[in-house]
Amino acid sequence: MNILLVGSGGRENALAWKMAQSPKCNKLFIAPGNAGTRDYGTNVALNPNDHQAVKKFLLDEKIDLVVVGPEEPLVKGLHDAILADATTASIPVIGPQQLGASLEGSKEFAKAFMMRHGIPTAQYKAFTAETVAEGEKFLETLKAPYVLKADGLAAGKGVLILDDLNEAKKELRQMLDGKFGDASSTVVIEEYLSGIELSVFVLTDGKSYVILPEAKDYKRIGEGDTGLNTGGMGAVSPVPFAGKEFMQKVEDRIVKPTVAGLAKDNIPYKGFIFIGLMNSDGDPMVIEYNVRMGDPETEVVMPRIESDLVDLFEAVANGKLGEKTIKVSNKTCCTVMMVAGGYPEAYKKGDVMTGFEKVDGSILFHAGTKVNDKDEVVTNGGRVIAVSSLGNTKDEAIAMSYKNVEHIQYAGRYFRRDISKDLDKYYK
Ligand code: AMP
Ligand code: GLY
To the nearest whole number, what is the mean pLDDT of the chain?
96
Q: Is 281 left (phi over 0), alpha (psi -120 to 50) or beta?
A: left
CA torsion angle 296 412 414 274 (round to 10): -20
Instruction: Determine the average pLDDT of the residues in 316-329.
Output: 97
Q: What own/partner pairs with CB < 8 Å and gap ≥ 24 does 275-278 have?
A: 275/199, 275/200, 275/201, 275/202, 275/250, 276/197, 276/199, 277/197, 277/198, 277/199, 277/200, 277/250, 278/193, 278/194, 278/195, 278/196, 278/197
Instruction: Determine the average pLDDT of the residues in 259-267.
Output: 98
Instruction: Determine the average pLDDT of the residues in 40-50.
Output: 97
281 pLDDT exceeds 90? Answer: yes
Nearest CA-CA partner of 219 in 288, 270, 280: 288
41 lines ligand 2 (CB under 6 A): no
- Cβ burial of 231 (10 Å; 0-12, 13-18, 19+) is buried
Instruction: Determine the average pLDDT of the residues in 215-233.
Output: 95
pLDDT for the residue numbered 420: 98
Between 159-163, 236-240, 292-296, 359-363, the lowest mean confidence (pLDDT) is in: 159-163
Instruction: Determine the average pLDDT of the residues in 235-257.
Output: 97
Alpha helix segments (H runs only) across 234-380? 244-250, 256-264, 298-301, 309-317
pLDDT for the residue numbered 246: 97
Among protein residues, the one whose CA lies closest to atom 3 of ligand 2 = 294
Supply φ then ψ for residue 260, to 5 degrees.
-65, -35
What does the buried/exposed string (b/e) look like for 266-302 if buried means 16 or more CB atoms within 10 Å of the residue's CB?
ebebbbbbbbbbbbeeeebbbbbbbbbbbbbbbbbbb
- 276: Cβ–Cβ under 8 A, 6 or more apart, which residues? 197, 199, 286, 287, 288, 289, 290
**Which atom of ligand 1 is least distant from the CA of 191?**
19
Instruction: Determine the average pLDDT of the residues in 339-361.
Output: 97
Residue type, 419: I
51 three-class SS: helix
134 pLDDT exceeds 90? Answer: yes
- Of 198, 200, 287, the one to substitute when testing ligand 1's pocket (max ligand atoms within 8 A of C-beta) is 287
Q: 105 near 71, Cβ under 8 Å?
A: yes
157 pLDDT exceeds 90? Answer: no
pLDDT for the residue numbered 156: 74
Instruction: Determine the average pLDDT of the residues in 146-172.
Output: 92
**Which atom of ligand 1 is least distant from the CA of 194?**
21
**Which atom of ligand 2 is least distant from the CA of 217?**
1
pLDDT in tens, 402-412: 999 999 999 99
Q: State the DSSP string of 253-296.
A: IIIHHHHHHHHHTT----EEEEEEEEEETTEEEEEEEESS--TT
What is the chain's length? 428
pLDDT for the residue numbered 75: 94
Instruction: Determine the average pLDDT of the residues in 277-303.
Output: 97
- Distance (Å) from CA 286 to ligand 2 centroid: 14
Kindly indicate the confidence band of residue 12, based on its pLDDT and cuts at 50, 70 and 90. very high
Ligand nearest to the CA of 286: 1
pLDDT in tens, 359-390: 999 999 999 999 999 999 999 999 999 999 99
- 307: Cβ–Cβ under 8 A, 6 or more apart, which residues? 324, 325, 326, 327, 328
Instruction: Determine the average pLDDT of the residues in 339-363.
Output: 97
**What whole-number distance in Å separates Cα of residue 188 and Cα of residue 159?**
9
190 lines ligand 2 (CB under 6 A): no
Residues of the chain above pLDDT 70, percent: 100
pLDDT for the residue numbered 155: 78
pLDDT for the residue numbered 187: 94
Instruction: Determine the average pLDDT of the residues in 250-258.
Output: 98
Among protein residues, the one whose CA lies closest to atom 12 of ligand 1 = 197
- Distance (Å) from CA 218 to ligand 2 centroid: 9
Q: Strands of 42-43's sheet, edge to edge?
A: 42-43, 28-32, 3-7, 65-68, 93-94
Among protein residues, the one whose CA lies closest to atom 4 of ligand 2 = 294
pLDDT for the residue numbered 428: 77
What does the buried/exposed string (b/e) look like for 335-366 if buried means 16 or more CB atoms within 10 Å of the residue's CB?
bbbbbbeebbeebeeebebeebeebeebbbbb
Instruction: Determine the average pLDDT of the residues in 180-204.
Output: 95
Nearest CA-CA partner of 299 in 273, 329, 336: 336
